[in-house]
Amino acid sequence: MSLQTALKEIAKLTSDEKLQIAEEIWDDLNEHYKDIPLTEAQKKELNMRLDEYEKDPENVLTWEEVKASIRRR
């Protein structure tokens, strides 16, 4: 089955069915994430963030602080 054919079939599904497919795809990607190369832009961003952290390792947020910040928006 071609990708276009699969997408046409997916378009016919309910939202719940589409979500289930998305979860299955995400789980599969998670299992094989090492096979997915980073783009140059992603590498650059990661290096920049690492440099910032190394300059000031105390300037970080906990996961709880990040979630609270998002919820306040």
pLDDT value of position 48: 98
Cα separations in angstroms, 22 against 10, 17, 27: 10, 9, 9
pLDDT value of position 59: 94
Q: Give the residue from 60, 38, 34 showing the smallest Cα distance to 49.
A: 60
Average pLDDT, the chain: 95
- The residue length of the chain stands at 73
Higher-confidence position of 18 and 33: 18
pLDDT value of position 4: 97
Q: What is the pTM of this model?
A: 0.52
pLDDT one-digit tens code per residue, 25-64: 999 999 988 888 999 999 999 999 999 999 999 999 999 9
pLDDT value of position 33: 84
Matching residue, tokens 């939202």: 15
